Chain A
Amino acid sequence: MEFLQNLLLLFRYLIAGTWVTLGVTAIALSTGFGVGILLATFRVYGGAMLRTIAALYSLVIRAVPVIVVIFILYFVIARFVDLSPFLSGSLALGIASGAYQSEVFRGAILSVPPGQMLAARAIGMSRVKAIRYIILPQALRLSIPPWSNEAAIVLKDSSLVYVIGVAEILRRAEYVSARTLQPFIAFGAAALIYFSLTFLTNRALDWLEQRYRVLM
């Protein structure tokens, strides 16, 4: 009985961290989404300058471990701008994810048939309007499966922010493990929560994909 009570306590404690994890993930994914869409559009439709900037960003960020980006943002940038550990961790993950998402969106944009742009221009749409109303809506639908993969990675990578002291799931599991000296139960519970979150996210995105499937 006491064991069960402790378990309940453990989960309650970890679930408080789950909200933090979800917060970090949400901020990171949406930042990465904005950055990713912008960079992908630059890379496909931009001039030489924008294309180079976007390609460099993607090249550099993807070559650096995410944890290094987190450290740079927290220990360097956050000294000049007022950023909490929570926010700098989330943004760092977003900056990193932006590079990966830009690759996802770029591939999706390129797989929209070229006739779509022609037809949009032919009814008098500007390039920007054609991208916004015709190309991106189709590219976004196409990118749901690879994006769902990226979402799972970011969700799991959100555990990295524990190194700068954000009390998310992993950090809390570590506290519990240190207090109870039962690492298996503490980290096992953390793993279970991560699994459920990833599973549910993927399911939700699968549903979204079915719902907005476009046949070409």
Chain B
Amino acid sequence: MSDPPILHIEDLYKSYQDSEIIKGISFVVQEKEVVVIIGPSGTGKSTLLRCINLLTRPDKGKIWLEDQEITAPHTNVDKIRQRIGMVFQDFNLFNHMTALQNVTIGMTRVLKMKSTEARDKGMWELERVGLSEKAHQYPAQLSGGQKQRVAIARALGMNPHIMLFDEPTSALDPELIGEVLGVMQKLAEEGMTMLVVTHEMGFAREVSDRIIFMENGYIVEQGPPKKMFYNPELERTRNFLWKITELYGKQEEKEQ
């Protein structure tokens, strides 16, 4: 194999106090791959993402980002996080900054870009998520969907090698979900490597290259969307996918 995968996770464990959240997870994400993680709430999906960009330290196991083992002691955590874009469920835009400033602050303060250069790149990133006309608005003046798109632009501004999405549409009103998924789909088509935790089965089916089904801290089953949706190996996978498609599908119908 010539190039190492973008992300390689090996036998990861994480507990909080007495409860074990992640119980030995291993998988690999290749360059330009879009991997969707699904599973019931409280099964460690968000914890897994936080372990990957070291917002939480895993207890055991190893994570490689490209050819660097990031779980090794004495790694430069800030440098590693620059290569990993993170999009949160509740956006977490910097409230005291305009959309543009949200996107440029990392470029100027972390990547040490010149402010004029950062401004240009910032506008370009906002353009990419279709929000250049909102550049000078504050988060409080934006809708949820717009906030999340700015948050995506902020992450993209750091030129990440992989983007992590932690239920990016779960805090959104149903009518705003589409615009965020649209941006994510566009990113996928542009070749961004993405790891997405979501309940949006439409996105999983249409956009992803692979679906990982997680439950109780384990990976239950993984495979390409076609197989997972229409011909899963396990009854449990079939049940979950059927249930969640039913649930969210009904919601979609109601909106129409």
Contacts and interface: CB of A to CB of B under 8 A. Distances in A.
Interface string A124-141: 111001000110011001
A125 to B, nearest CB: 6
A211 B95 CA distance: 15
Interface stretch (A71-79, A92-100, A111-119, A174-182): A111-119
Contact of B110 (A116, A123, A137): A123
Contact of B55 (A116, A122, A125, A129): A122
A209 B86 CA distance: 32
B106 A124 contact: yes
Given A133-B109, A215-B138, A124 B82 contact: yes
Contacts of B110: 123-125, 129
B92 A123 contact: no
A115 B92 contact: yes
A137 B97 CA distance: 10
A4 interface: no
B109 A125 contact: yes
Given A122-B86, A123-B81, A124-B82, A129 B109 contact: yes
Contact of B93 (A119, A125, A129): A119
B94 A119 contact: yes
B31 interface: no
A133 to B, nearest CB: 6
A139 to B, nearest CB: 10
B155 interface: yes
Contact of A115 (B81, B90, B140): B90
Contacts of B106: 123-125
B105 A133 contact: yes
Interface in B87-136: 88, 90-96, 105-106, 109-110
Contacts of B139: 215
Interface in A166-216: 212, 214-216
Interface residues of B, number: 28
Contacts of B88: 115, 118-119, 122
Contacts of A124: 78-79, 81-82, 106, 110, 158
Given A123-B158, A129-B109, A133-B105, A214 B78 contact: no
A137 B96 contact: yes
Contact of B94 (A116, A129, A141, A215): A116
**Which residue of A113, A118, A123, A214 has the most chain B CB atoms within 10 A of its CB atom?**
A123
B166 to A, nearest CB: 10
A214 B139 CA distance: 9
B53 interface: yes
A121 interface: yes
A125 B53 CA distance: 13
A71 to B, nearest CB: 42
Contact of A123 (B91, B96, B138, B155): B155
A125 B96 contact: no
B90 A121 contact: no
Contacts of A138: 94-96
B154 interface: yes
A215 B140 contact: yes
A134 to B, nearest CB: 6
Contacts of B155: 122-123
A91 B78 CA distance: 39
Contacts of A115: 88, 90-92
B92 A121 contact: no
Nearest to A117: B92
A115 B151 CA distance: 12
A19 B36 CA distance: 67
A55 B123 CA distance: 44
B252 to A, nearest CB: 28
A118 B95 CA distance: 13
18 contacts: A113-B92, A118-B92, A119-B88, A120-B94, A121-B55, A121-B81, A122-B88, A122-B155, A123-B106, A124-B81, A124-B106, A124-B110, A124-B158, A126-B78, A129-B110, A133-B109, A216-B95, A216-B140
Given A119-B154, A122-B155, A214-B95, 5 more contacts: A113-B95, A125-B109, A126-B78, A129-B110, A137-B96
